[in-house]
Amino acid sequence: MVFGEINSALSIWDRFRKWYRSRKSPTVPPSVATRFVRLLESHGVHRNQIPRFIGHGLTLRDVQDDTVLLAKLNEEILEVVCTLFVIRREWLDGAEKRAHLCKDFYQRPEAFFSFVKNLIEKNPDERIQGVLIAPNECDWRATALLILQETVGYVGEKPIWRYHLCDNLPFTYWKARAYLTACIAICWKRDIFIHGITMPMETIAQLAWGETLLGWQGEGIWALGHKTWDPEDMALRPEAFLEGINPEQDNFGIKSGLESWLDLEAQGFMDSGFGKSARQDFQQELAKHFPS
């Protein structure tokens, strides 16, 4: 009888332990202060460097503990940081997952020109660079992603960058390819050098969605990979422009892509600053495929 009661008690205790161990501890969402530090560190600013980089009355003691820091973060500091790194305030508040928003310049090369011109005029002493990420797959759903990297300050001699994402560029679609090429030419004309890499379309989509906090611990866009192709070639060589474009029925995509390139060139958007116009080469390519 006694042994039965002991066994029963042990069984109850064993079930309790299993239940307790299997119970998930409630996840405590990161505070605004935790996100604030994460944002700075992702861009290469160490926690101990935050006061001298941000200023606004923050001290070294303030940033040692997130609870103390939270009491010091006012609206002015939060807005300054969001503006500085082009980060959505909703993400910093912990209300939404998307830290970045992509800019959409599809069919709007003049708007992209104004955007780039504004970046240069506001920050004339610092170099802007970029990366164009093309998809590995020849899939109509696959988009390219253009990321511009702009220097916004220094910690010692180390540059600190912010990032501008430009999306909605279906890479195999002839019309999108022409407008994308115009954007690349606009950059090169203004000494914004764009290097090309490739990634799986799923990875590109994740970056473009904006939930991945950019910065790469201060390594910059080079952390994404070494250059594997030259995007500026699309503004210079017909074969580079046409590579991977969906030809569509009766080569409609090829014909329309070349005609779009020539139309944008006539408007001045294909001048990449290399001196020689490629217009004649594209006209010859069009005539070769579609003799009149």
pLDDT digit string (tens) for 81-126? Answer: 999 999 999 999 999 999 998 999 999 999 999 999 999 999 999 9
Name the pLDDT band for 289 (thresholds 50, 70, 90): confident
Reduce the DSSP state of residue 45 to 3 states and report it.
coil
Query: What digits encode the pLDDT tens for the residues 197-218?
Result: 999 999 999 999 999 999 998 8
In the predicted structure, residue 25 carries a pLDDT above the cut 70 = no
Q: What is the mean pLDDT of residues 176-196?
A: 97
CA dist., res. 94 & res. 53, Å (int): 23
Average pLDDT over residues 15-26: 55
Contact 48/6 with Cβ under 8 angstroms?
no
Judged against a pLDDT cut of 90, whether residue 5 lies above it is answered with no
The neighbouring-strand residues paired with 149 are 129, 163
pLDDT tens by residue, 39-92: 999 999 999 999 999 999 999 999 999 999 999 999 999 999 999 999 999 999
Q: What percent of the chain has pLDDT over 90?
A: 83
pLDDT digits (tens, 9 = 90+) for 134-180: 999 998 889 999 999 999 999 999 999 999 999 988 999 999 999 99
Statement: residue 12 has pLDDT above 80: no
CA dihedral 179, 246, 221, 215 (to 10 degrees): 90
Q: How many residues does the chain have?
A: 292
Q: In this predicted structure, what is the pLDDT of residue 3? A: 46
